[in-house]
Amino acid sequence: MPAPRINKIVDAFNRLLAEYLPGRMSFLDEQGRWQKDPGEVWEKASAELWYRLWEQSGARQQAELENLATTLMARESDWKVIKDIFGQGPAASNPEAALIIFLNALCRLIEFACYKNNAGRPVAEWDQQGRRLSEEYALKTQEAYNRWGVAGQEYSRAKALDRLADDLLRDSEMFVKISRLIAEEDRLNRKVEGLLAGPSDPKLRSEAYELILEQLDGAVAWPVDRLQHMVRPCLGLLGNSDIPISSGIQYEATCILGKVRDRRCDETAADLLKRMDQKHDNLSAGLLYLLGRLGEPLTAGVLLDKLKAGSPGSGPEAEGRLRSSALEIRESIWALGKQERTPVSAIPFLTAQADSKDRDVRATLAWALGKIGRARLSDVGNIEPEIIAVLLDLIKDRLCRVSEEALLGLKNLDLPGLFARLQMHNTAGNDLLALQPSRQGLYELSETLWYLMGKHPPVVMAVTGDSGTGKTYFCQCLTEGFGRWASKDILYLARDSADHNDIFNRMLGLKFLKKRVLPQFYQNYPLSEEEDHPEEYFEQFMNEHRDKKLIILDGWRDDAYFHHLVNLFNEQERLDVLLKFRSTYSTRRMNLEEREGLLENVTTCLSYVEEPNLRETRFHRDGRVLIYQLENSLPARPGREEIQELFRHRKIENWGRFIRIGRFGRATGRLATSGKKFGRREETVDILSQETVVGERQAIEPSEEQFVRKESGNSIASRHVLETIETAGISVNCVALMGPGQVAFGGKGGQVGAFYGIGDRLKYHSLPGGDIRQITVLGEEIWSIDGAGRLGTTSLSKGHLTKWKNDHPPITAIASNRDQLIATGHSDGSLRLWNQWEGQVGGAKLSARSITAIEMGPGKRVFSLDSDGRLIVWENGNNSALSYDAGLAGGASLCRYPGGRVAVGRSGTGPKGNIEIAIIDYRTGQVETVTTDGIGTVSSLSACFDGRLLVGIKSKAGKKNDGTLMIINPKGKAPEYWLLSGHKTETRTCLSLGPQILTCGSDTRLSGSLKIWGSVDYVKQERKRSELLDGTMNRPSHFQSIL
């Protein structure tokens, strides 16, 4: 009989493959019948061969099969040997006889290669057990030779098959992979069986279990490729009822199977779960996690049974049984959500979990319902009302992860009429909707990097976000190089790298590490504390890498470590860009499952969330660093090729004008300048005694209203104003940034509230006491000073107002460091520090005069200005302060200025009432002053990262007004200023935000509004984009954000 044609073998294989069930451990026996649960080595080889070929679909599968067949059947003499040995008996009568003979030979050759591999495995001289095992495998190899031979032909046939095995090892990658896998599996099985077959003495058996557990525990950390040989042994251990579950062996086996994600485990895992005693909830959760990763529809019934057992009022059939734990319910919901089509019968049991006390159960439920709802709309064109009802309820959840999942779940149901009319500004997950999707945001980031890298390399970019948000995935897309920059031009430093941690540790210094970090993380620190100079190391590092074009810092910001590293680069003015990825709980979990594999590791990494909140950081507040907060959940996340294509080319040559405040054309006038140096004095201050100040907290019900956006006209006077935001009946007196799309405000009628860009809503509460003079923000709380100098703390999200005991002199100034502390200046010259939990926590008597302005610096430093024009620099806890007689009496505005300096603004006292701005280097005593002609009085002052100053002006009564927003460029030999018209009477607060300026001010004595400004080019571009969106679609939620 000649060798069959290869295409006949392939066709026969495809016919049998249609019957293959990948959800169980199936193999083809010697007669061509499907069986399950292989026991013999060749049966395991058959199971492995079918599964690996099933995985290789299409052309690759055919190529693998043709390669194997060609090797075995290329010579007629080889096929004759194969047919004579493996084609006898029932196999010869099978309609697919040629294929069965071919597969039998192939599986026996895999078995032979397995024995030969293990027989030749190197073994140490001292390893007596290993040597015995090698001898046993050598014997099995010889037995295979003997089994293949017949009288007089043993040598020639055995030699032919030996040669064919060698040919397959040389020519077939699949044969090599399977034979090695079976060899490793067989060695492991022999070890485990040997331990389990030991003495019956309980103590000795316990020791045997510990040795098996040690084998499994050590393998858990291996990469998935190294774990393939453990699938069947782990399934065997799971199903072995003689091993007590208390040994931990079954749990470790489940962990390994969950990591490997082999679909053949599906049926066995489902059967085990049915029989599982519910008191073993960790093991049960591990099996549920495994089934969830496999996503096989046949297991939906088992998952539903587990969910039923945890549902309220699960019926009389549940009596006498333990209820499913929160862990099991979470994994059941997760696994059902990952099903391609979740049974409709599961919906009532899913929605019954909406009131669960476990936050992860509620977050998982919100994700699952959104996914199931989309599938129902796709399949039948409608959706069960209870899905929408539960999602609407979960939107209101106070926990961010739950609310975010519900919001995105509802959004992705594609019900625009419903979604657009929801009031979502007071939901915990609203922030995520205000963020730009990654696909759009990374386009803009690519242009920013091209611009900065071409202008002043090295550019330093920190890529941050909670664990599992896709940081490292993105970074690795850039490290290979992009555009005209090669991989050698990019330095990538990751928090998760031990080598890179050594660099980070040196930058932070041993003194810092001892205070913040566990000793095992810096045990190899090369210097003593006395020898250590982290500042010098930082400068040395930056100098060594000055030729790099881009330095990437990758890690999640925690308050113990990485946040301080990012902040170090910021304080040294070396941080250029901060990219923060935000993702939903479900996206993070999916990413972590792919990365970590083990449920325990996934759960641990999900707890790695960033602290402090980005909006509470100095680099967010200062405006020097370009910050991109992007929504990187799976629907918005681009793939590797898409990211690389985004960064491959520069698309906009003049991009710089769209990421920073641009140019404003011809200057209005020039500034007079002067410079001098003044001395400083170190003065003793009285530390205020620690007082326990108790606040009176009361519940409030904030009011809500719509605000109106008005686009400015095309006149020359309004060419720099993008939008005006007005409110009916509320005159805004001061503003402060809260978060993406959120601006806090204080009103002249005592209102304290916030504007929310999504939905164009505002929310506020009216405090008694008249005008709100100043506000600052800490977390979600707005701290305010009223006209009588009283302090209040308003939380709109939590619905409460705290009134602090008024036993201190009236408050005249307030500031926040956006990191747990508030500072207040008082009419008696004292300064007090407050936090959100304890009230007053410190303070000092700094002056005999009233404090007129405060600014909080890095660390514990507080800058204050008294009514005599003295600048006072005090560090919390010190009993001394530095005092500078700057000669700026009447100065009422103070801000930090680039280069570690401060700026003070005041209105001069001369006949013209000139505006005077002093830039002070408090370390040297040097002051540079710029002066303009009399235009009005200074209301506010803030600095841009590039040194330009934004000055809010109150116009003089009865005098013609050319503008109340002044932009000053104090640099160069001939400093200039620009006067922009917008608010007619007064501009009170100025905030610089990327390419935008946000102000509040008045057109009349009683009115108050917000205005968004920019360069002429920026305003034109945004107006065009707005026109396009208005003409074609509803504005995306992130575009509705004010900021």
Over residues 187-212, the pLDDT tens digits come to 999 999 989 987 778 888 899 999 99
- Measured on CA atoms in the order 487, 493, 495, 500, is the torsion positive or negative? positive
Query: 351 in helix, strand or coil?
Result: helix
Query: Which pLDDT band, with edges at 50, 70 and 90, does 1041 fall under?
Result: low
CB neighbours (10 Å) of residue 56? 14
What is the DSSP pairing of strand 772-778 with strand 901-907?
unpaired
Distance CA 326, CA 310 (A): 8
Is 634's pLDDT higher than 90? no
Cβ atoms of 147 and 191 within 8 Å: the answer is no
pLDDT score recorded for residue 158: 77
Is 417's pLDDT higher than 80? no
pLDDT score recorded for residue 913: 62
Mean pLDDT, rounded, for 915-922: 89
Is 416's pLDDT higher than 80? no
108 in the Ramachandran plot: left (φ > 0), alpha (ψ -120 to 50) or beta?
alpha
pLDDT score recorded for residue 857: 80
- Nearest Cα residue to 915 out of 893, 946, 897, 944: 893
Is 651's pLDDT higher than 70? yes
Paired with 696 in beta bridges are 803
Q: How far is CA 426 from the centre of its chain?
A: 23
User: Which distant-in-sequence residues (6+ apart) come within 8 Å of 288 by Cβ?
Assistant: 273, 303, 306, 328, 331, 332, 334, 335
Assigned token pair, 599: 């449920």
Residues 579-632: pLDDT tens digits?
999 999 999 999 999 999 999 999 999 999 888 777 777 777 667 789 999 999
Cβ atoms of 867 and 904 within 8 Å: the answer is no
The helix or strand, by DSSP H or E, that contains position 728, with its residue range, turns out to be none
Least confident window among 37-41, 625-629, 902-906, 1017-1021: 1017-1021
What is the DSSP pairing of strand 822-826 with strand 811-816?
antiparallel
Residues 261-317: pLDDT tens digits?
999 999 999 999 998 887 888 999 999 999 999 988 888 889 998 888 876 655 444
| Torsion angles phi and psi, residue 201, rounded to 5 | -60, 125
Query: Which pLDDT band, with edges at 50, 70 and 90, does 973 fall under?
Result: confident
Query: Which pLDDT band, with edges at 50, 70 and 90, does 57 fall under?
Result: confident
Query: Which pLDDT band, with edges at 50, 70 and 90, does 348 fall under?
Result: very high
Q: Give a three-class secondary structure readout of 178-199.
A: HHHHHHHHHHHHHHHHHHHCCC
Distance CA 948, CA 940 (A): 14
Cα atoms in the 13 Å half-sphere on the side-chain side of 756 = 24
Cβ atoms of 761 and 707 within 8 Å: the answer is yes
Residue that is written with structure tokens 């939905």 in the block? 759
Residues 994-1019: pLDDT tens digits?
888 999 999 876 678 899 999 888 88
678 in the Ramachandran plot: left (φ > 0), alpha (ψ -120 to 50) or beta?
beta
Distance CA 6, CA 167 (A): 18
Q: How far is CA 824 from the centre of its chain?
A: 35
Cβ atoms of 115 and 133 within 8 Å: the answer is no
Is 442's pLDDT higher than 70? yes
CB neighbours (10 Å) of residue 915? 24
Distance CA 1012, CA 404 (A): 28
Distance CA 941, CA 990 (A): 7
**Which strands, in side-by-side order, build the sheet including 686-687?**
686-687, 839-845, 830-835, 822-826, 811-816
pLDDT score recorded for residue 911: 54
- Nearest Cα residue to 892 out of 822, 957, 950, 941: 941
Cβ atoms of 538 and 567 within 8 Å: the answer is no
Distance CA 571, CA 778 (A): 21
Assigned token pair, 780: 């979600």
Distance CA 543, CA 538 (A): 9
- Nearest Cα residue to 894 out of 869, 911, 858, 930: 869
pLDDT score recorded for residue 155: 57
The secondary structure of residue 808, as a DSSP letter, is S
Assigned token pair, 690: 């620690």
Q: Give a three-class secondary structure readout of 501-547.
A: HHHHHHHHCHHHHHHHCCHHHCCCCCCCCCCCCHHHHHHHHHHHCCC
Distance CA 306, CA 291 (A): 12
Cα atoms in the 13 Å half-sphere on the side-chain side of 64 = 20
% of the chain surpassing 90 pLDDT: 54
Residues 70-114: pLDDT tens digits?
999 888 888 888 888 887 766 666 668 889 999 999 999 999 999
Domains and CATH numbers, the chain: 1-197 (no CATH), 435-658 (3.40.50), 668-678+895-1013 (no CATH)
pLDDT score recorded for residue 1033: 45
Cβ atoms of 815 and 942 within 8 Å: the answer is no
For the chain, what percentages of helix, strand and coil (3-state, to nearest 5) are there?
45, 25, 35
- What secondary structure does DSSP assign to 49-113, as a single string? HHHHHHHS-HHHHHHHHHHHHHHHHSSHHHHHHHHHHHSSGGGGGSTTHHHHHHHHHHHHHHHHH
Mean pLDDT, rounded, for 336-349: 90
Instruction: Please give the C-alpha separations between residue 481 and each of 370, 464, 470, 642, 778, in angstroms, as whole numbers.
Output: 38, 20, 19, 14, 40
Query: Which pLDDT band, with edges at 50, 70 and 90, does 836 fall under?
Result: confident
Q: Which residues of 276-286 are buried (b: 16+ CB within 10 A; e: fewer)?
A: beeebbbbbbb
Mean pLDDT, rounded, for 422-444: 83
Is 318's pLDDT higher than 60? no
Distance CA 482, CA 646 (A): 9
Query: Which pLDDT band, with edges at 50, 70 and 90, does 1032 fall under?
Result: very low
Mean pLDDT of the chain: 88
pLDDT score recorded for residue 1043: 47
Distance CA 736, CA 777 (A): 7
Assigned token pair, 479: 């490290």
Torsion of CA 546, 552, 554, 556, to 10 degrees: 90
Assigned token pair, 490: 């990019």
Distance CA 107, CA 126 (A): 34
| Torsion angles phi and psi, residue 263, rounded to 5 | -65, -20
∠ Cα 399 403 408 (to 5°): 150
Assigned token pair, 306: 């587990």
Is 733's pLDDT higher than 70? yes
